[in-house]
Chains A and B, each alone.
Chain A
């Protein structure tokens, strides 16, 4: 009997193939895409720069969200479209705690860790709100999260009385920028911590098995002693935690917040990351590594498009094309044809 060891997960092929395709495209178009330079930032600290570093930097927030989105998708068979708005709320909370009553404080009114923990709590509460609507009231995830999607940015503005707080303390910028002396962007390290944490959670708890079981067959899961409602609820709360982390990175980058623009459309990228990872958007089985990889590939695509001087307004249209290709490629009909084609071209395909 095969022990499954050493067999390469086919699902990873999808994001890897996309990554290779994008890399090849850039290599042909303009090899300078891959140039990485060591320079200095305004504070005089050494930093790496280049398109690849940008991908690592911005792809990281997406990767963090993809973790939560993967779990929500697996358990509920739907997606949370409110993460962008929830990031605005989390970011707003962080600034509010750091600034206190004054919107332009000379020094921080509270340690960043406290602000972050408060933001975690708030974001998890909003996650719980979504979770309750989905799990206990059985509302379609997209419909349920539409509420927060619509109201979230107003709530974010309200938290700071619609003022625009600005943090002048430079150390606050470390989370979304660089720690002095470390040339690699901090978000990458934060993302790696999140990845390690989720991998440990998946290894040392049964979260993975439960979410998949609930997503595939809720009724059977219940008869096996699982509480499907609670598992769905839990995934939304976990996504809330991911939102808080992404919120910290976002507001740290700017040291301020723009309620209507911060993390705009990021939910679509996060969902796309899950899809690009070859995970079914209707729930069930998932592969976390593939989703995380998918997040970086999405950022690779975005950065490539920016480099080609595509205007940010037009970006979504280009991404939509990618989405269409992906969704069509993942349909059973096309997959069957592709595997037939593959069998014809490579009669004896080796195990990767």
Chain B
């Protein structure tokens, strides 16, 4: 083993039917470092993590762990835990209806009897030492998501882990919460814990990590010190090509001023839904890309959901080309030519067990009607066409969508709505949790569709993505529309100021 290393992997191989997920991958984690594991979706990050945590068994290769003679065998998550490898997943896997302390100690007591008082005291001690703002006796559900995430980490830490794996822990946290989490990670680092950090946010990698290991197509690209690897290079290493795509896009947008004069396709007045947003006005012109921005929970999604009829509309009118239309449920919106790609792909988007083909034709089929099924041959033709068009990576059109990677799932959902040939396409966080390559693909596609006359609303938590794609931004704060930015005003600081309500020095 190398000096200081707590975990070393050599020549790890793992295959699934039809895919070589890992091919001879090496990985080294040192004591007291935060090590980012980067790669596009399908690069093998998750597989590698699952090999380390015992969810999958490696086919080949050796794992060394500090304090153990020779190689270690990890056959199950229990083995991994016993060896001091702890994992905190993207989705919180604790029990919200138990207390914080119970969550920290569940499944760990060896005796039949439980000393509740001592357990709570111990828990409080750990929480205090990690500076986590929660009480042991508090019900977990009453904590914010970030604190729940931290409790999950506290649980891992208390199990005296040497290796802590954080798999996309920040994807549901806001900036403030992310900072708290980073604080905790730095504390642990000082205590000598080796942390593997998986994330899609490049900013976060550069903020908190010491080293980066990049994977691509199941192979190791390399291990780098953070200072030696500028952002652009990281991205190009992940994609395996020189990246000038991002700057390309920008050039395309700027010459689109004439959309200002195009007619308004959809207009809403005083629209309000039961999801708790204040009544808002809204319009979109033909061939325009606009966006909703604001902090997490500001009501961005709720606005577009109201337009699509996804939440119950309780007030206001919607006009299409100047004529009032009634949209009270999704099918009404679809009939008016509105398509909506929902924020939560897993919950609202994919129909997991159905094939890619069925997932692609679903919306178009519903629109055609109950008594006019699309024939199997036609469905295959359409599916293949869109698989080609969007470059969806799937074994076949019959593959269940749930076995695709996140980015490809998102493309399937996108194909579903494009197949409907909508006049107005709403994309709510289409790029969340997917790889950089697909992000760029989607942004390009949005601009292409708009240039062909489709109106698009694009929502993203990454402001620079919005700045690149949108020609007009609706800014929201506290479930209310507080401003609109276009042209010159479209800058990071412009958005910040509007979100903060002009009191940017506050």
Residue A224 CB within 8 A of the other chain: yes
Q: Mark A196-231, 1 if CB is under 8 A from B, else 0.
A: 000000011111011011001101111111110000
Residue A2 CB within 8 A of the other chain: yes
Docked CA distance A205–B342 (Å): 27
Residue B353 CB within 8 A of the other chain: yes
| Known A209-B358, A212-B354, A285-B353; contact A225-B397, beta-carbon cutoff 8 A | no
Partner of A220, one of B350, B365, B367, B370: B350
* Contact B366–A224 (Cβ < 8 Å): yes
* Residues of chain A from 137 to 189 with CB closer than 8 A to chain B in the complex: none
Q: Which residue of B lies closest to A226 (CB)?
A: B366
* Residues of chain B from 365 to 386 with CB closer than 8 A to chain A in the complex: 365-367, 369-373, 376, 380, 384
* Contact A204–B330 (Cβ < 8 Å): no
Q: Determine the chain A residues whose CB is within 8 A of the CB of B365 once the complex forms.
A: 206, 209
* Contact B363–A224 (Cβ < 8 Å): yes
* Contact B371–A2 (Cβ < 8 Å): no
* Contact B340–A223 (Cβ < 8 Å): yes
Docked CA distance A121–B380 (Å): 39
**Chain A's nearest CB lies how many Å from the CB of B330?**
5
**Chain A's nearest CB lies how many Å from the CB of B312?**
12
Q: Determine the chain A residues whose CB is within 8 A of the CB of B349 once the complex forms.
A: 220, 223
* Contact B363–A203 (Cβ < 8 Å): no
Q: Which residue of A lies closest to B377 (CB)?
A: A3
Q: Determine the chain A residues whose CB is within 8 A of the CB of B384 once the complex forms.
A: 1
Q: Mark B297-331, 1 if CB is under 8 A from A, else 0.
A: 00000000000101000000000000000000111
What number of A residues sit within 8 Å (CB to CB) of B?
26
* Contact A209–B373 (Cβ < 8 Å): yes
Residue B396 CB within 8 A of the other chain: yes
Residue B334 CB within 8 A of the other chain: yes
Q: Determine the chain A residues whose CB is within 8 A of the CB of B351 once the complex forms.
A: 212-213, 216-217, 220-221
Q: Determine the chain B residues whose CB is within 8 A of the CB of A4 once the complex forms.
A: 376, 380, 398
Residue A68 CB within 8 A of the other chain: no
| Known A220-B348, A222-B330; contact A2-B396, beta-carbon cutoff 8 A | yes
* Contact B362–A224 (Cβ < 8 Å): yes
Q: Determine the chain B residues whose CB is within 8 A of the CB of A204 once the complex forms.
A: 371, 373
* Contact B397–A1 (Cβ < 8 Å): yes
* Contact A206–B397 (Cβ < 8 Å): no
* Contact B370–A206 (Cβ < 8 Å): yes
Q: Which residue of B lies closest to A4 (CB)?
A: B398
Residue B352 CB within 8 A of the other chain: yes
Q: Determine the chain B residues whose CB is within 8 A of the CB of A205 once the complex forms.
A: 370-371, 373
Residue B389 CB within 8 A of the other chain: no
Docked CA distance A210–B358 (Å): 10
Q: Which residue of B lies closest to A214 (CB)?
A: B351
Docked CA distance A205–B329 (Å): 22
Q: Which residue of A lies closest to B347 (CB)?
A: A219
| Known A205-B373, A207-B370; contact A213-B330, beta-carbon cutoff 8 A | no
**Chain B's nearest CB lies how many Å from the CB of A245?**
23
Q: Determine the chain B residues whose CB is within 8 A of the CB of A84 once the complex forms.
A: none
| Chain B interface residue number, banded | 20 to 34
Q: Which residue of B lies closest to A202 (CB)?
A: B373
Partner of B330, one of A2, A216, A223, A285: A223
* Contact B348–A203 (Cβ < 8 Å): no
Docked CA distance A229–B376 (Å): 26
* Contact A225–B373 (Cβ < 8 Å): no
Residue A15 CB within 8 A of the other chain: no
* Contact B340–A217 (Cβ < 8 Å): no
Q: Which residue of A lies closest to B310 (CB)?
A: A223
**Chain B's nearest CB lies how many Å from the CB of A10?**
12
Residue A284 CB within 8 A of the other chain: yes
Partner of A213, one of B342, B362, B396, B397: B362
Docked CA distance A4–B348 (Å): 28
Docked CA distance A223–B348 (Å): 7
* Contact B353–A284 (Cβ < 8 Å): yes
Q: Determine the chain A residues whose CB is within 8 A of the CB of B380 once the complex forms.
A: 1, 3-4
Docked CA distance A2–B399 (Å): 11
Partner of B352, one of A207, A217, A225: A217
Q: Which residue of A lies closest to B363 (CB)?
A: A224
Q: Which residue of A lies closest to B344 (CB)?
A: A219
**Chain A's nearest CB lies how many Å from the CB of B40?**
24
Q: Determine the chain B residues whose CB is within 8 A of the CB of A227 once the complex forms.
A: 329, 331
* Contact A217–B366 (Cβ < 8 Å): no
Docked CA distance A154–B189 (Å): 71
Partner of A212, one of B350, B353, B363, B370: B353
Q: Determine the chain B residues whose CB is within 8 A of the CB of A206 once the complex forms.
A: 365-366, 369-373
Docked CA distance A207–B366 (Å): 11
* Contact A216–B354 (Cβ < 8 Å): yes
Q: Determine the chain B residues whose CB is within 8 A of the CB of A1 once the complex forms.
A: 380, 384, 396-397
* Contact B370–A223 (Cβ < 8 Å): no
* Contact B366–A225 (Cβ < 8 Å): yes
Q: Determine the chain B residues whose CB is within 8 A of the CB of A223 once the complex forms.
A: 308, 310, 330, 340, 342, 348-349
* Contact B353–A225 (Cβ < 8 Å): no
Docked CA distance A220–B329 (Å): 13
* Contact B348–A219 (Cβ < 8 Å): yes
* Contact A225–B398 (Cβ < 8 Å): no
| Known A2-B398, A206-B370; contact A225-B348, beta-carbon cutoff 8 A | no
Docked CA distance A225–B332 (Å): 8
* Contact A216–B353 (Cβ < 8 Å): yes
List the 10 closest A-B pairs by CB distance, nearest first. Answer: A225-B331, A225-B366, A217-B351, A224-B363, A225-B334, A206-B373, A216-B351, A216-B353, A213-B351, A224-B362
Chain A to chain B contacts (Cβ below 8 Å), 16 pairs: A4-B380, A204-B371, A205-B373, A206-B369, A206-B373, A209-B354, A209-B373, A212-B351, A213-B362, A216-B351, A216-B353, A216-B354, A217-B350, A217-B352, A220-B351, A222-B310
Known: A210-B370, A216-B352; 9 extra A-B contacts, CB below 8 A, are A1-B397, A4-B398, A204-B371, A205-B373, A206-B369, A207-B370, A212-B354, A213-B354, A225-B334
